[in-house]
Copies of this chain bind each other. A is one copy, B any other.
């Protein structure tokens, strides 16, 4: 969901065991973003695999109850699988309920946002190309256009 701030590194061979729901041994729990200008609430980030030989990075994001990721878009695509909990996602003009195992594809330059349901976390695996552009935030006029769709306005307001 955000441009990687850490350098890709060669992975160690073999197994890193799960260490509880949404946590792994030898995987650092990080801030979702280091950029204060992008609005979000209660999201953590973990980089599961970033070996440059993969061509992509495999990350895990977890949105806590009442939290939401940044509403943004970018040229690079996202391939997502819900890993924990329940929530909703906005992809373009479509809002969907999502639960464990569901797959989500986010095409280039498509506005998207994830949020956890009340009483739930929303944890999701997210693949990105290792070579990718920085996310764009909606300008005021773009937000106004998005808000012309009442369902999207409601989604954005619920997440704000």
A126 to B48, CA, bound (A): 13
Q: Cβ of A39: which chain B residues have Cβ within 8 Å of it? A: none
The verdict on A14 contacting B81 (CB below 8 Å), with A127-B54, A127-B58, A129-B55 known, is no
> Separation in Å of the A18 CB from the closest CB of chain B?
3
A91 to B24, CA, bound (A): 19
**Residue from A12, A24, A92, A127 with most neighbouring chain B CB atoms (10 Å):** A127
B81 x A54 contact (CB < 8 A): no
Question: For the complex, is A30 an interface residue (Cβ under 8 Å from B)?
Answer: no
SS of A interface (majority): strand
A58 to B127, CA, bound (A): 9
Q: Cβ of A48: which chain B residues have Cβ within 8 Å of it? A: 79, 81, 103
Q: Cβ of A17: which chain B residues have Cβ within 8 Å of it? A: 101-103
Of the candidates B16, B56, B91, B100, which one forms a contact with A15 in the assembled complex, judged by CB atoms under 8 Å apart?
B91
> Separation in Å of the A40 CB from the closest CB of chain B?
21
0/1 interface trace, chain A 75-102, chain B, CB 8 Å (1 if under): 0110101000000010110101011111
